[in-house]
Amino acid sequence: MNDYLKSYFSIIFIIFFSLFLNAQKSSEVLHVSKLIEDITSCEDSIFQLTDTNVKFDFRIYKDDIAFYSGGNIDYYDSVVKSRDYNVHCEVFLKNVSFREDLIMTFRHIEFNKPVVIFEMDNWWGGFSNCDFKKGLIIVNSNIKDIWFNNCSFNGIYFYNNNIGELSFKRSSFKRDITNTSILLGDIFRDFDLGLVENDNELINTLIINECDFKERTLYTDSSDYQNIFVVGGEFKNVEIDNSNFNKAIFSSNKLNVKSRFEVKESNFGYPLGFNGVNFLKNNTHFDYSLISGGKICLRDHNSDDFFVPYLANSNEQLSDVFNYKELISVYNKFFNMYKTRGDMTSANQCYVDLKEIETKMLAYEYSQNKTLNKFFELYINKFLKLFCDYGTNPAKSLIISFYIIILFAVFYFFFFSSWDQINRGFLIKQYRKILVYLTTDKHLVDFFDENQNEKIQSFNEFKQELSDARNKLPLFFYLLSRPLYQVSILKYKLLKFFYKKSEFNYGEWKNYSFRNRVFKSLLLFSFITFYGLYLFLLRALNSFVLSVNTFSTLGFGDIPVKGLSRYVAVIQGFIGWFLLTIFSVSLISQILQL
């Protein structure tokens, strides 16, 4: 692309030089309103003005006031708009200088042919509500400030200008007409929205605010390309705000921002080229969400490969080691900038995208040289992406660890544990008790006494021993022992009371009437259901605790499971140790801000 532009501007320079030698000079002094009148009334195919000093003095030339940037702007707008300025010839200005102490604004002018400005001096002003239907070119000019508000462009080219501030606000850029110049031929290719670039000069500030860059609709060569807008060279400040690049490519070529670089609330539909970009880490404000997910790329500005972004996403691109390292360098510049600003959210997102590219390179290297070391490097990287987003998301690693704990807990649920001892034998034993309960005169409290008789007897023996030795013991020891017995026996008294009140089977089942059988069947079904739910929750809780204990490698002496589940517990312990180690490193890296 640069070769194209250099050859193109060589032709322009020759034409300009020829015009400079052969064109008849205009008057040496011309005031602004007369300049506009001459341009709009020109009936020739080209309006040429060279080596002229344009004055702006509304005290002498009253019509000049309509192009003043101060005062009653709404009134000036209405005056100029009523004049319906239409320019039907090409406009060529060379070596034209303006008064530098007053600000001018050209308003409501429709340029139906190309506008070319070469070596303009001391311009301070702008264009408001103007339409450049065949494009605008400004080259090698010395401009204090120039702005374009509510303007429409069919291609722009700003090259090697020394400008204080260049501003585009609420303007649109499109290509829907072929730009053919009598002097220059085809000015722009049909996908060139614009270029703002300097080789030796400096633009102090570039502002693009609330601008819309249109989708390509002009196809004279190929429909494979999108519209492009390129910014390159040296700038002090660059601000892009609330602009729409959804349908066009934005790219920078050796962009060097010396002070403030700000991009916010804009939309980018295609990867952004950052070839040779440089910016200050502590004074750059670039919302990373605008370019996350692989929208940082390199573009070859010297060929039609410009439209194929280098994203390091194919084997062919990954084999290009030079561009791979350059792309990694661009990501590192953004990453270090976000770290310097303390924007860890953007830094983490940028780091993840950077590691994604490195993982692609590892996959490519493994495909070329399948060694064990490359294999582990590749799949460890892939695992780190899955588990903790390359160490940037410790919360994600905790969530995945929790899912793993649940998975192993489900496995343990179906295997015997010495903690609850629930298995088929236990269930058969409980079922037999129900059989005895329904076919004999035994009551619920009888089953309770059988199960707890040994413990209750030991409590009673303890009570008797205290009573027998009362006179042989210190008073405080005896007084402390009595509450111990009472608290211990209270639990069993309450349970026994509960069983007595819960009794519903008085006699054998066969002796009940049909109505009583239905009622008691419902009660029995409810009891079995609640008891089954209790056993289920008990087993689930024990399985979960076992899984947590195993995963966290806290240790519990002998493993309370047998057979296959014992070996699974050992494997889970190793997995837990490995994952918790990675979680710890991830957490520490975030605490230390990577």
C-beta separation of 69 from 103 below 8 A: yes
pLDDT band at 11 (very low <50, low <70, confident <90, very high): very low
CB atoms within 10 A of CB 190: 21
pLDDT tens digits for range 352-376: 999 999 999 999 999 999 999 999 9
Measured in whole angstroms, how far is the alpha carbon of residue 258 from the centre of its chain?
26
pLDDT band at 36 (very low <50, low <70, confident <90, very high): confident
| Phi, psi of 184, rounded to the nearest 5 degrees | -110, -5
C-beta separation of 166 from 146 below 8 A: yes
Q: What residue type is 242 in one-letter code?
A: N
Q: Per mean pLDDT, which range of 16-25, 165-174, 205-214, 326-335 is the poorest?
A: 16-25
The closest of 316, 314, 321 to 360, measured between CA atoms, is 314
pLDDT reading at 5 higher than 50: no
Query: Helix 444-468 to helix 475-502 angle, to the nearest 10 degrees?
Result: 170
d(CA 345, CA 392): 9
d(CA 277, CA 291): 15
pLDDT tens digits for range 530-553: 989 999 999 999 999 999 988 987
pLDDT band at 177 (very low <50, low <70, confident <90, very high): confident
pLDDT score for 416: 86
Which of the two residues, 441 and 76, has the higher pLDDT score? 441
The closest of 79, 60, 187 to 132, measured between CA atoms, is 187
| Phi, psi of 146, rounded to the nearest 5 degrees | -145, 135
pLDDT reading at 91 higher than 50: yes
Contacts of 435 (CB under 8 A, 6+ apart): none
- Angle (nearest 5°) at CA 110 between 109 and 111: 115
C-beta separation of 128 from 77 below 8 A: yes
C-beta separation of 92 from 51 below 8 A: no
| Phi, psi of 244, rounded to the nearest 5 degrees | -115, 110
Length of the chain: 594
CB atoms within 10 A of CB 440: 13
pLDDT score for 279: 92
Residue recorded with tokens 């309770």 = 448
pTM: 0.78
pLDDT reading at 184 higher than 70: no
% of the chain beyond a pLDDT of 70: 86
Q: What residue type is 166 in one-letter code?
A: L
pLDDT tens digits for range 430-485: 888 888 877 777 877 878 777 877 877 887 888 888 787 877 778 777 777 778 77
Q: What residue type is 277 in one-letter code?
A: V
Q: What is the 3-state secondary structure (H, E, C) of 473-499?
A: CCHHHHHHHHHHHHHHHHHHHHHHHHH
pLDDT score for 206: 95
Which stretch, 182-186, 235-239, 446-450, 557-561, has highest mean pLDDT? 235-239
pLDDT reading at 23 higher than 50: no
Which stretch, 21-25, 56-60, 74-78, 210-214, has highest mean pLDDT? 210-214
C-beta separation of 154 from 133 below 8 A: yes
The closest of 329, 245, 210 to 279, measured between CA atoms, is 329
Torsion of CA 467, 469, 471, 476, to 10 degrees: -80
C-beta separation of 163 from 178 below 8 A: no
Q: Average pLDDT in the 297-302 region?
A: 88
pLDDT score for 24: 40
Q: What is the 3-state secondary structure (H, E, C) of 70-131?
A: CCCHHHHHHHHHHHCEEECCEEEEEEEEECCCCCEEEECEEECCCEEEECCEEEEEEEECCE
Cα Rg of the chain, angstroms: 43
d(CA 473, CA 480): 11
Q: Average pLDDT in the 396-418 region?
A: 92
Q: What b/e string do you get for 147-168 counting C-beta neighbours within 10 Å, with b at 16 or more?
A: bbbbbbbbbbbbbebbbbbbbb
pLDDT score for 221: 65
Q: Average pLDDT in the 2-13 region?
A: 46
3-state helix vs strand vs coil in the chain, percent to 5: 50, 25, 25
Q: What b/e string do you get for 374-400 counting C-beta neighbours within 10 Å, with b at 16 or more?
A: beebbeebeebeebbbbbbbbeebbee
% of the chain beyond a pLDDT of 90: 40
The closest of 396, 371, 395, 378 to 386, measured between CA atoms, is 396
pLDDT band at 251 (very low <50, low <70, confident <90, very high): very high
pLDDT reading at 157 higher than 70: yes
pLDDT reading at 172 higher than 50: yes
pLDDT score for 408: 95
Q: Per mean pLDDT, which range of 137-151, 290-304, 446-460 is the poorest?
A: 446-460
DSSP letters along 354-382, please? HHHHHHHHHHHHHHHS--HHHHHHHHHHH
pLDDT tens digits for range 204-249: 999 999 999 998 887 766 666 888 999 999 999 999 999 999 999 9
pLDDT score for 405: 94
Which of the two residues, 324 and 506, has the higher pLDDT score? 324
Question: Which residues are registered as beta bridge partners of 230?
Answer: 195, 251
Q: Average pLDDT in the 17-32 region?
A: 52
d(CA 385, CA 21): 67
pLDDT reading at 180 higher than 80: no
Question: Which residues are registered as beta bridge partners of 296?
Answer: 272
d(CA 104, CA 120): 14
pLDDT tens digits for range 106-141: 888 899 999 999 998 888 888 989 999 989 999 999
Mean pLDDT across the chain? 84
Residue recorded with tokens 């339409």 = 131
pLDDT band at 20 (very low <50, low <70, confident <90, very high): very low
C-beta separation of 207 from 228 below 8 A: no
